[in-house]
Structure 1
Amino acid sequence: MQLNQVIIAHKAGDSLSKSWAEKCARQLESRNCRVLMGPSGPQDNPYPVFLASSTQPIDMALVLGGDGTALSAARNLAADRIPILAVNVGGNLGFLTESFDVFKDSEKVWDRLASDLYAIQRRMMLQAQVFEGNSSNLDPVSDRFFALNEICVKPASADRMITSILEMEIDGEVVDQYQGDGLIIATPTGSTAYTVAANGPIVHDGMQAITVTPICPMSLSSRPIVLPAGSVVSIWPLADYELNTKLWTDSVLGTSIWPGQRVDVRMAEYRAKFIILRENYSYYQTLREKLQWAGARIRYSNNHRDN
């Protein structure tokens, strides 16, 4: 990998990630690398400015923070196929990030990247658009919204909890109507995020699939479903008299959805690219560590494994 121009995004409001961003910027600039640096957070999106002001191809984005910072980078950079090195500096769970332990000797990291001693993990993403009327109308009334974890359709109100009534079509066929707190349409990456909290399935992030999980449905028959990645999931808000239905992307508000409109969710045409530095990377180890799987209370030794 060439390191001629690099984005450095640090978690907004976090002094530790900012200080590391400044340190990394000095190191890279000493290697004749142009650095575009700024904070990333709910009120700060530096990527449109970075992309518009770049005078040459961007080789990499260094993202210092937690999963939310990494998700924002993926939504904004995947279309330009910019690889992301996400490091857990000031974050919490860190499902999508490299451990700080493998990054703290950052000068060695630049040497590794320049020598191509890393792996690239490509993660499926989703895109959503709002349309008027049935599936024969293909003229969108909104921008495209992208998500690495999930697209969520659920109401939002400042003064009370709203129950939503949503109808779901898959590839133009009505599948079910859901009454409850909303629907989560997730990628395999997002299956260990909001989806798993709503009792949805965990799907290996090496797969291409779409999961649909009801949030607190008012029917025991409303169950999660796993779909082929080529499916188009259409969501219609019904009986929304107070116009509270919203489209959320990776927990960030996208737009409002009115009755008579539908949201079409499908696999995005490109995938997010994450740089992996760990030589012993294991998806199952990540599950064990991040979800704190304990298994049975009594542990039995497996003496048969070595026979």
Structure 2
Amino acid sequence: MQLNQVIIAHKAGDTLSQQWAQKSADQLEALGCDVLMGPSGARDNPYPVFLASASQQIDCALVLGGDGTALAAARHLAPAGIPILAVNVGGHLGFLTESLEELQQQTSVWQRLLDDRFAVQRRMMLQAAVFAGNRHHLEPVSDRYLALNEMCVKPASADRMITSILEIEIDGEVVDQYQGDGLIVSTPTGSTCYTVAANGPILHPGMEAITVTPICPLSLSSRAIVLPPGCVVSIWPLADQELTTKLWMDGVLGTSIWPGHRVDIRMAECQASFIILREDYSYYKTLREKLQWAGARIRYTNNHRN
């Protein structure tokens, strides 16, 4: 990998993340690299400016924060094919990030990138758009939205909790109507986030699959379903008299969905690319540590391995 121009995005409002961003920028500039640096957060989106102001090809992005910061980077950088080195600085669980220990050997990190001594993990994403019209003639009425974890269709109200009624089609065939708090359409990456909290399945991120999981459905028969990656999931809001149904992407508001509108969700044309520095990287180790499975705390001797 070349390091001619690099993005550095740090978690907005986090002092430690900002300090490491400046330290990294100084190291990269000493190597002759052009650095584009700025905060990323709920009210800060530096990526359009980064992409518009780049004087040459962007080689990679160093993203300092937690999973939310990494998700924002993936949504904006995946279409451009820019690999992301996400490091957990000021984050919480850190499913998508490298540990800060990897960055503390900074000179070694940049040399490893220059020498191509790293792995790249590509992860499936979802794209969504809202359409209006009848079944035989639909017109797009929104932009394309991207998500690495999940798309979620659920209502939002400032003064009360609203039950939504959503009809779902898969490849044009009506599957069910869900009454509850909403629907999650997830990637394998997102299966360990909102989906698993809603009692959905955990899928290995190396897979390509789409999971549809109802949120607190008012029916014991409503269950999560796992679909092939080529499926198109269409969701119609029904009985939405208060006009509260929204489309959310990775927990960020995308757009409102009005009665008569339909949101189509499918596998995205682009993938997120994450740089892996850990030589002992293991997805299962991540599950054990981040989800604090009982097997990670209870140790029995397994003599059968010998």
Specify if TM > 0.5: yes
Structure 2 unaligned residues grouped into runs of 5+? none
Describe how 1:5-16 pairs up with structure 2 within 5 A: 5-16=5-16
| Match in the other structure for 1:226 | 226
Q: Secondary structure at the match of 2:295?
A: coil
Aligned identity (percent) is: 77
Q: Distance in 2 between matches of 1:214 and 1:292?
A: 25
Measured after TM superposition, the shift of residue 103 of structure 1 is 1.5
Aligned length: 306
| Match in the other structure for 1:301 | 301
Q: Distance in 1 between matches of 2:295 and 2:221?
A: 28
| Match in the other structure for 1:191 | 191
Give the stretch that moved more between structures: 130-139 or 196-205: 130-139
Measured after TM superposition, the shift of residue 74 of structure 1 is 0.1
CA, structure 1 residues 273+135, in 2 after alignment: closer, same or farther (shift >3 Å)?
A: farther
Measured after TM superposition, the shift of residue 296 of structure 1 is 9.5
Q: Distance in 2 between matches of 1:37 and 1:138?
A: 41
| Match in the other structure for 1:64 | 64
8 Å CA contact 1:11, 1:65 repeated in 2: yes
Q: Distance in 2 between matches of 1:216 and 1:61?
A: 37
Q: Distance in 2 between matches of 1:295 and 1:32?
A: 47
8 Å CA contact 1:131, 1:137 repeated in 2: no
8 Å CA contact 1:11, 1:41 repeated in 2: yes
| Match in the other structure for 2:119 | 119
Q: Distance in 2 between matches of 1:266 and 1:175?
A: 16
Q: Distance in 2 between matches of 1:157 and 1:134?
A: 28
8 Å CA contact 2:288, 2:295 repeated in 1: no
CA, structure 1 residues 296+251, in 2 after alignment: closer, same or farther (shift >3 Å)?
A: closer
Q: Distance in 2 between matches of 1:189 and 1:9?
A: 21
| Match in the other structure for 2:40 | 40
2:184 equivalent to 1:174: no
Q: Distance in 2 between matches of 1:77 and 1:152?
A: 21
Q: Distance in 1 between matches of 2:273 and 2:135?
A: 32
| Match in the other structure for 1:129 | 129
Measured after TM superposition, the shift of residue 138 of structure 1 is 4.5
Q: What amino acid does structure 2 have at the position aligned with 1:276?
A: I
Q: So what's the TM-score if we normalise by structure 1?
A: 0.98
Q: What amino acid does structure 1 have at the position aligned with 2:190?
A: G
Q: Which runs of 4+ in 1 moved over 4 A?
A: 296-299
| Match in the other structure for 1:73 | 73
